[in-house]
Structure 1
Amino acid sequence: MPSIHDFTTWEPVLRLLLASNAERYAAPSVRVAGRIGRHSWSLALRRQPPPSGRAAQIEDMQDEFDAVKRVQSALADTDINDISFTAKISLTGKTALHLLGPSPAVEPGIGNPHPGALILVEGSLPEPWRRLPDPVPGAVPAPSADLVLLEQTLRERLPDAIGATKAEIAAAEARLGVTLPDELKVLYRVTRARWEWEDWGDDYEAAERVFAAVGCELFPLDKLYVTDAPSRYCRWEFAAKEAVVTPPDAAVQGLVGSPGWIAFGDNGGGDRLAVDLTPGPHGHVGQIIMLSHEESTGAELLADSLTDLVLERPSGHRGGGHDDRQPAVAWVNIRSLESVEAAAHPGLEVLSIGVWDDEPVSLSPVIGLPRLRTLTAYPGTLADPLEIAKLTGLEFLELGPQEWRVLLDAGAVPRSLSAAAIEVRGNEDPLPIVAIANELLALWDRPQIIQTVIEGDLGPVT
């Protein structure tokens, strides 16, 4: 199998892209680009629709699958998981293929060949992912927590279950570095939920009985884990736009994760159930929460106690009323706020300026705000990009190529940044974008995006 740096590895992909750009053959050359990873790819191909009345089949795209598989096989022989590329193809077939990447300091782009977030400070995390729970000194278990009733109910529902020993529970606590709450210990003393091993074997009905008895797909003891912030992965450019907010009447803190959230089950749809040992201002220690797989922050209160969850008793919490505080995240665009002035207040953390039909805006209303840490601005929306130099607390900045060019040429890129991103409109040539990305990485002495040029010949374009 040819290597990733052999032109023959890429030739089938390039021919497919060239065929999809036939209307551009009148130009002196054709530029194509894409991204291929070990398990996914993004190529601007025009696929033929299937025959009327039939859904698309793999064989309808067999040429594409075969071409991509050739590159993926070459990737598998390297330490590269994902690679972007662009190629300039002349009408004679002479081709200059540029392979872009990888760099350990750059996240892959999404659906395009352009680089994703640039990690300027190694190991850095956005502020919401660094946030720890606030102490709630008066928090206590819910009155509904009843160890005797919980154990009695579970044993009645699961008379043949095999329970965990004290040693097994102690081992789980040592592994997690936290003392399990009493209700959780009661649950595992009744059933250790090791259904995929020796307890139940292939008896899936036994597993379903546990689901019905407890109210979730119960994890075995050695699969319990702490749902702290690192366990809830999110790409930098998305995570930086989040904010951790806990209303004063909340039962659950609006965190990304907590050292006191112990995941013990799943609802069958990918959402985790956890015991909460760090509740919100109006919550209870040991309450049961659910972390949605579709959300990056916060959790939903399911029950005031594990006893309530098992007995299917609803929570008595009636929070979630009106929060008088101004939002920490503001969007200025044609659909949301109409000005930067309307977004500015001392608690503002994230400002995103989107598509804008009016004159470019000034950032002067947000200069000096104490908590502003993220700024994103769609290309062409800023009246003076150099105003960014006055935002001394930024940790993430996303701008268009021209705005970054202004900051770089003036030596005004904020040194407070931990990460950055380049907002690209449409099908822009990846090479100038990569050049800007490498300039930014160089300012922090971070690994560059590797560029490899491979020359080849596809034959005359017809």
Structure 2
Amino acid sequence: MKEQSPAIDDFATWVPVLRLLRAAGAKRDAAPPARVSGRIGRHSWSLALQPRRPSQGRAARTAVQDVADAAQRVQSALAAAGVDDIAFTAQIAPAGKTTLRLLGPSPAAEPGLGNPHPGALILVEGAVPEPWRRLPEPVPGAVPAATADPELLARTLRERLPDAIGATEEEIAAAEARLGRTLPDELKALYRVTRARWEDLGDDPEAAQRECTAVGCELFALDDLYVADASSRHCRWGFAATAAVVTPPDAAVQGLVGSPGWIVFGDNGGGDRLAVDLTPGPRGHTGQVIMLDHEQNIGAELLADSLTDLVMHRSAEERDDRRGDQPPAVAWVNIAQLKSIEAAAHPGLEVLRIGVWEGAPLSLAPVIALPRLRTLTAYPGTLADPLEIAELTGLEFLELGPEEWRVLLDAGAVPRSLSAAAITVHGDQEPLPVVGLANELLALWDRPRIVQTVVEGDLGPMA
């Protein structure tokens, strides 16, 4: 008989985790903690279980396994409930009586990073940050590079891959229909030589490596081509809203998140994707080869002026992509960078980030009339008057500390232009007030609240 999965709201599911947290807190503080909290997802967890001094040997391995086993029980319950992630906080009496509160999930709240507090609150269903809405600018003069030569490309690949099976015209037409766009001539020439299917490689263990060497990348099968538009590059709201699309006038590649003209055809072996670019920058070429770094949320790097150049192992023409004297669209005001709001203010400013600050609290007056300001993040305690935010009528994302949000909520001054918001929390702050604040914000937009589920139980006395 198959063992039944533990339930997420069954106290027994949480007992191993709670006992480990209670014991770890007692080791740190010489007394059992009154409160413990954390976050567990299907494939990860964030729990205050790190010892002050790293253990070694078998004891360390046993401790790690104990945590993994405890978390796994909760993860199994999450999977059974169809839930990706859950935060929790628990009050534990000295004798072991415990009140556990499960926080969430909510489709309108992203999980927090490494803590039990909520991440960004999505106030408008389906909303994405401005950089993810940005489409490529037209470049009427863009043409293929002089080095683009489909015949040379095909001839070279046939010499390198004499046994390859090429795609038929019907297969190429099917790929174009699936993608909703015509493939450039060089890309069609490549796939007419090899359609790059694993089943075509037979039993030759070196065939894939030969193909990779011949083309200059790990080539995707024709059936696996995809368009790297903005939706293909997922990013959390809090990060995405603080980015900006910038394309200098001498750029070969537009500084986009994604483009309907970026057709991904391969990988460099390290997770970075290669694409032909049909929407190049002002100094680029139609059909140039670009790389989308998997560690970057925005922009792409020019690899070759043409697909022929990539196959022939010719580097891209060097360009000096300079921004000139244009002030940045994203500005940081803190103890290490800009020293005033005035220094950050200019008509093109899109994102203002106020970080750790040692001087007097700052006024937002210098940026109130800026036409493009859409994101403001402010470290707790850095604003002289949070109510000045009400005059920033173009904000789509706002991140503040709990006290600043309290001021705006009490005054009915939360900007209605917002699509998303976040509450900055530092240190070991009790999650429940933060969740309550988040639910007040969600209520203003009639969005699903973060549900609190109370589970009572008894851990028994400390061993």
Same fold (TM over 0.5): yes
Equivalent residue letter for 1:240: A
- Which residue pairs with 2:42 in the alignment? 38
Equivalent residue letter for 1:396: F
Please report how far the alpha carbon of residue 340 of structure 1 lies from its aligned counterpart in structure 2 after TM superposition: 0.7
- Which residue pairs with 2:262 in the alignment? 261
- Which residue pairs with 1:141 in the alignment? 144
Distance in 2 between the 1:71 and 1:147 partners? 55
Please report how far the alpha carbon of residue 55 of structure 1 lies from its aligned counterpart in structure 2 after TM superposition: 9.0
Other structure's SS at 1:34 match: strand
Please report how far the alpha carbon of residue 158 of structure 1 lies from its aligned counterpart in structure 2 after TM superposition: 0.8
Of 30, 55, 64, which aligns to 1:50? 55
Q: 1:322 to 1:445 in 2, by over 3 A?
A: closer
- Which residue pairs with 1:86 in the alignment? 89
Q: 1:55 to 1:231 in 2, by over 3 A?
A: farther
Cα deviation, 1:301-342, whole Å, max 9, x if unaligned, reads 111111111111122242313522110000011111111110
TM-score (norm 2): 0.96
Asked if 1:229 corresponds to 2:222, the answer is no
Gaps of 5+ in 1: none
Equivalent residue letter for 1:400: G
- Which residue pairs with 1:17 in the alignment? 21
- Which residue pairs with 2:377 in the alignment? 376
User: Is contact 1:103–1:447 with CA below 8 Å preserved after alignment?
Assistant: yes
Cα deviation, 1:119-175, whole Å, max 9, x if unaligned, reads 000000000000000000111111111122111111111111110000000000000
Cα deviation, 1:176-224, whole Å, max 9, x if unaligned, reads 0000000000000001100x22x11342311111111110000001100
- Which residue pairs with 1:320 in the alignment? 321
Distance in 1 between the 2:292 and 2:64 partners? 38
- Which residue pairs with 2:78 in the alignment? 75
Equivalent residue letter for 1:176: L
Please report how far the alpha carbon of residue 11 of structure 1 lies from its aligned counterpart in structure 2 after TM superposition: 1.0
Distance in 2 between the 1:59 and 1:92 partners? 27
- Which residue pairs with 2:102 in the alignment? 99
Please report how far the alpha carbon of residue 74 of structure 1 lies from its aligned counterpart in structure 2 after TM superposition: 1.3
Please report how far the alpha carbon of residue 460 of structure 1 lies from its aligned counterpart in structure 2 after TM superposition: 3.2
Query: In the TM superposition, what are the counterparts of 1:291-306 in structure 2 within 5 Å?
Result: 291-306=292-307
Equivalent residue letter for 2:38: G
User: Is contact 2:275–2:290 with CA below 8 Å preserved after alignment?
Assistant: yes
- Which residue pairs with 2:290 in the alignment? 289
User: Is contact 1:251–1:317 with CA below 8 Å preserved after alignment?
Assistant: no
Q: 1:309 to 1:341 in 2, by over 3 A?
A: same
- Which residue pairs with 1:338 in the alignment? 339
Query: In the TM superposition, what are the counterparts of 1:164-183 in structure 2 within 5 Å?
Result: 164-183=167-186
Q: 1:346 to 1:201 in 2, by over 3 A?
A: same
Equivalent residue letter for 1:141: P
Please report how far the alpha carbon of residue 49 of structure 1 lies from its aligned counterpart in structure 2 after TM superposition: 3.0
- Which residue pairs with 2:389 in the alignment? 388
Equivalent residue letter for 2:102: L
Distance in 1 between the 2:104 and 2:151 partners? 60
User: Is contact 2:25–2:31 with CA below 8 Å preserved after alignment?
Assistant: no
Query: In the TM superposition, what are the counterparts of 1:409-448 in structure 2 within 5 Å?
Result: 409-448=410-449
- Which residue pairs with 2:7 in the alignment? 3
Please report how far the alpha carbon of residue 230 of structure 1 lies from its aligned counterpart in structure 2 after TM superposition: 0.3
Other structure's SS at 2:206 match: helix
Equivalent residue letter for 2:55: P
Equivalent residue letter for 2:13: T
Query: In the TM superposition, what are the counterparts of 1:265-280 in structure 2 within 5 Å?
Result: 265-280=266-281
- Which residue pairs with 2:350 in the alignment? 349
User: Is contact 2:23–2:462 with CA below 8 Å preserved after alignment?
Assistant: no
- Which residue pairs with 1:201 in the alignment? 202
Please report how far the alpha carbon of residue 435 of structure 1 lies from its aligned counterpart in structure 2 after TM superposition: 0.1
User: Is contact 1:25–1:461 with CA below 8 Å preserved after alignment?
Assistant: no
Q: 1:26 to 1:164 in 2, by over 3 A?
A: closer
- Which residue pairs with 1:398 in the alignment? 399
Please report how far the alpha carbon of residue 92 of structure 1 lies from its aligned counterpart in structure 2 after TM superposition: 2.2
Cα deviation, 1:222-269, whole Å, max 9, x if unaligned, reads 100000000000000000000000000001000000000000000000
Aligned pairs, how many?
457
- Which residue pairs with 2:122 in the alignment? 119
Q: 1:313 to 1:56 in 2, by over 3 A?
A: farther
User: Is contact 1:49–1:56 with CA below 8 Å preserved after alignment?
Assistant: no
Asked if 1:456 corresponds to 2:453, the answer is no
Distance in 2 between the 1:269 and 1:13 partners? 36
User: Is contact 1:262–1:275 with CA below 8 Å preserved after alignment?
Assistant: yes
Equivalent residue letter for 2:17: V
Please report how far the alpha carbon of residue 57 of structure 1 lies from its aligned counterpart in structure 2 after TM superposition: 6.1
Distance in 2 between the 1:408 and 1:219 partners? 51
Asked if 1:364 corresponds to 2:361, the answer is no
- Which residue pairs with 1:192 in the alignment? 195
Q: 1:455 to 1:350 in 2, by over 3 A?
A: same
Other structure's SS at 1:421 match: strand
% same residue: 74
TM-score (norm 1): 0.96
Please report how far the alpha carbon of residue 21 of structure 1 lies from its aligned counterpart in structure 2 after TM superposition: 1.2
User: Is contact 1:252–1:301 with CA below 8 Å preserved after alignment?
Assistant: yes
Equivalent residue letter for 2:319: R
